[in-house]
Structure 1
Amino acid sequence: MAYDPDQAQIVGYVCGTFSLIILVARLGISRWRRESIDLGFFLVSLSILTITGRLVMNEFYLKLPTANDVLHNPDTPDVTSNEALKVGGILVLLARVLLTAALWLQIGILLVFYARITSNIFWVRRLIWVTWIFVGATFVAVVLATFLECQPIDLYWQIEPNPGQCVRAYLQLLIQAIANIIADIMLLVIAYPLMRLSKRSLSQTISIYTLFALGTFCMVITIIRIVLVFSENSSQTTRSLWASVQMLVACFVANAPTIYGSLRVVQRKRSEQRSARGYAEPMRRPSRPERESWIKMTEQAAPPPQIPVDSPTTPPPILSPHHDNPYPATRLSTASSTEDKPHSVKKAV
């Protein structure tokens, strides 16, 4: 199905706007909760800049012709200006780099999220570092493929003689899509310990399975994009429209867990205050920086805690007749001390 440039532009505006709303909402909630500025904060800020830049690119390059559309799509009007082809080709290349940056930044945002809630699991920490290396290497590979698939680079805006298949940028698309799918699979493996959480509430169970479903949906969108781009001879409107959809889905999947978690923590604290004081208080901004997760790992997914061993300098634990657990050391209550006195007097007699 061929898309009109106006359709691609409208979809691009809608998806870009919703993506920016998600990212700005995450930053706003983070600052409202007075959370410390960490790597995730900078990645979200960079995402806002890259998506804004891509929206600006879409405004111009979808109105300009590209060499691939002129050569392979009969509906493209004839071009009389080589300068328009050159400007359109350059803007398309820049937009592809910005799209790659936006998608890879969302992967980084999820890695920061998972690193915080699975930090006690050794193999997950290792896999997160491996994923960071994979993300950096594949980003460089996609950017190089974007600019080097046609050599020399001016083949991207050349009509005669025919520049060949490189103007379709299939190699760049495949490297980007395959790397994205592999990264999504690695993220699902990193998130697997969440499935082993014990004593989950119903809302946590729904949230975890929704997270996995959305991660799978990201891969489905990527596959659909590949199929449609190949079926439409790499039409730029098709590439742009489905890239916008993929960007929105990636932004939602990467930021929804943190937004949902922040709101859930605030709601839980408000509920605790209400139950403790007997009345509902208005939601206030926290007075100091917070860093609390809506979901935590348990002993089933994390290494068992170290049990302290008594040393010669450590006094023996105090045992009470009514307490069997020696850890931590407990003091006898007044009631228990009173009950013990008759026994001690009887022994003395």
Structure 2
Amino acid sequence: MVSSVTALTIESWTLYPFGILLIAARILSRRILLGSFNKLQIDDWIMLFVAVTFTGVIVSVNQVSHNLSNYLPPGAAEAFTTEEHDNAVYGSKFVMILEQFMLANTWLCKACLLMLYHQMTLGLKHNKLVKIVGGYCAFGYVLVQILYLGVWCRPIQQYWQVPVDDSQCASYYHHLITSAVFNITSDLMMLYLPLPILIKARLPLKRKIVLCGVFSLGVLVILSAILNRYYNFTEPYGSLIYLDWYTGEAATSVFVANVPHLWPLLSRLFALGAFNSLRRTTGNSSGNGNSSGKGFYPKGSGNNKGSRARPYDQHGYIQTESEERIASAGAGPGAGTTWPLPDTKDGAGLELGSMDRKPMGYAATAAGGNEKESEHRDGIVKTVQIRQYSNEV
């Protein structure tokens, strides 16, 4: 990267439309998957706010590069004219604004990815780890802000004073170290979260490799953060190269946070078909098992031709569930009116429990077993959760 003002302007405003287009593509992709903009989830709305923070980073970077700041070699500020002094004060204020936009952009992108990982791990032991990492990220952001605004530079007006009395108010040295520690360590934790799930998923090897590659893009974010801090600490006073890396890190965070959601849109545009659902099985100590499948199936994808629309849950995942349990003889399928279906040739019957109204349709439980065996001793009863969904998917 080069440090000239012109090159920085070209680079930053070249990366900016790509970031905004990716955010727009993510929202459109989610609209295709969920069926309505009204069904967008909280992480989608957060990403719309990320568009604001990303815009703030690009604008602030260019303001700082054009006006300079109090990050100057010793004695340089004393030689300034009144106009140059005022410009440096103005640029120093934009350095503070840039830092706030950068922190918000970075940690909001983390939040969006953590919400995705939370949905991927529902019902799995990994979900607890996702919550722990989320708590660590929240703690890190709050601590970095407290130290930045209330500890490293006092009084806070020193951040835009030209020249400064305390070099920390110009170099941000202590702040950059603490923010880098929490930023990079949390990224390393998040890099691990989806990989065990994808490796164990019942997907073809090629699709596993593709998905692992997508979720491993966080390596680029970590690399950008490391290079950002490297040039902050090694370049001399007055160098603008750190602004290049601020731009690169912010753009990379936006790219990585949105790429995992683009498959429904790409599938619709290029008729690529859909990935198989990520199926998982969990159990508990009582012997009950629960298996469910989730996948990123857009409506009308190649795998759904000739069939009715897939029943998505409120997060855009396919919702299926079955349960097999050990039951005592003579135990009914549950309270409520039942609908007995005709017996099969071997005398096994099937009963359908009451239809309960659910937010997305109706649910009932069907249970069946061999009547002759169940009258005398315990038997195995298989229950299947049957869900009837409305067409508003």
TM-score, structure 1 normalization = 0.75
Structure 2 SS opposite 1:307: strand
Aligned counterpart, 1:129: 131
SS at match of 1:199: coil
Aligned to 2:14: 14
The equivalent residue for 1:257 is 260
Q: 1:241 to 1:77 in 2, by over 3 A?
A: farther
Residue 231 of structure 2 is matched in structure 1 by 228
**CA 1:168–1:243 in structure 2 vs 1: closer, same or farther (change >3 Å)?**
same
* Percent of pairs with identical residues: 18
- For residues 47-83 of structure 1, give each alpha carbon's deviation from its aligned partner in whole angstroms, at most 9, with x where no partner exists: 01111222332332221121113549x8x99532332
Q: Does 1:189 align with 2:179?
A: no
Say yes or no: does 1:24 pair with 2:24. yes
Letter in 1 for 2:153: C
Alignment of 1:139-178 (within 5 A): 139-148=141-150, 149-160=152-163, 162-178=165-181
2:36 maps to a residue whose letter is R
Please name the residue that 1:334 is paired with: none
Relative to 1, partners in 2 of residues 1:129 and 1:99: Cα closer, same or farther, differing over 3 Å? Answer: same
Q: Is residue 313 from structure 1 mapped to residue 315 from structure 2 by the alignment?
A: no
Is contact 2:159-2:170 (8 Å) kept? yes
Q: Is the 8 A contact 2:164 2:170 kept in 1?
A: no
Kept in 2, the 8 Å contact 1:319–1:330? The answer is no
Amino acid at match of 2:316: E
CA spacing shift, 1:127–1:25, aligned 2, 3 Å: same
Look up the match of 2:111.
108
> In 2, are the aligned partners of 1:12 and 1:244 still within 8 Å (CA)?
yes
Match of 1:292 in 2: 316
d(CA) in 1 for partners of 2:67, 2:311: 52
Structure 2 SS opposite 1:68? coil
Confirm or deny that 1:118 pairs with 2:121. yes
CA distance in 1, matches of 2:238, 2:118: 39
Letter in 2 for 1:7: A
Question: 2:285 maps to which residue?
Answer: none
**8 Å Cα contact 1:15-1:247 kept in structure 2:** no
Please name the residue that 2:140 is paired with.
138
Q: 1:14 to 1:146 in 2, by over 3 A?
A: farther
The answer for the alignment partner of 1:270 in structure 2 is 301
Aligned to 2:70: 67
Equivalents in 2 of 1:287, 1:119: separation in Å?
18
Structure 1 position 133, deviation (Å): 2.1
Supply the distance in 1 between the matched residues of 2:242 and 2:133 (Cα, whole angstroms).
Answer: 27
CA-to-partner distance for each residue in 1:175-201, whole Å, 9 max, x for gaps?
222211111122123213324324312
Structure with a larger share of its residues in strand: 2
Report the CA distance between 1:46 and its aligned residue: 1.2
Q: C-alpha separation between the residues in 2 aligned to 1:198 and 1:160?
A: 58
RMSD of Structure 2 on Structure 1 (CA): 3.8
- In structure 2, runs of 5+ residues without a counterpart are 268-273, 275-295, 334-340, 349-365, 371-393
Q: Is the alpha carbon distance of 1:288 and 1:197 closer, same or farther for their aligned partners in structure 2, counting shifts above 3 Å?
A: closer
Compute the displacement of 1:256 (Å): 0.8
The alpha-carbon deviation at position 111 of structure 1 amounts to: 0.8
Give the drift of 1:329.
Answer: 3.8
Q: Does the 8 Å CA contact 2:57/2:247 hold for their aligned counterparts?
A: no
In the other structure, the counterpart of 1:301 is none
Greater shift, 4-13 or 26-35, is seen at: 26-35
Query: Residues 190 and 234 (structure 1 numbering): CA distance in 2 closer, same or farther, change over 3 Å?
Result: farther
Q: Indicate the SS of the match to 2:325.
A: coil
Give the one of 192, 204, 207 matched to 1:204: 207
1:234-274, CA deviations, whole angstroms, 9 ceiling, x for partnerless residues?
A: 65622221111111211121111112256445568432354
The offset of 1:308, in angstroms, is: 5.1
Whole-angstrom distance in 2 between the partners of 1:88 and 1:156: 11
Q: Deviations over 1:282-337 (max 9, x none)?
A: xx9x999864349x999xxxxx955252453338x97756x9xxx96499xxxxxx
Larger mean CA deviation between 218-227 and 27-36 belongs to 27-36
Query: Which of 246, 254, 271 is equivalent to 2:249?
Result: 246
Q: Which amino acid aligns with 2:81?
A: T
Unaligned runs of 5+ in 1: 278-283, 299-303, 332-349
**Pairing 1:44–2:42 present:** no
Letter matched to residue 307 of structure 1: R
Distance 1:92 1:176 in 2: 15
The 1:216–1:58 alpha-carbon spacing in structure 2 relative to 1, beyond 3 Å, is closer
CA distance in 2, matches of 1:247, 1:201: 33
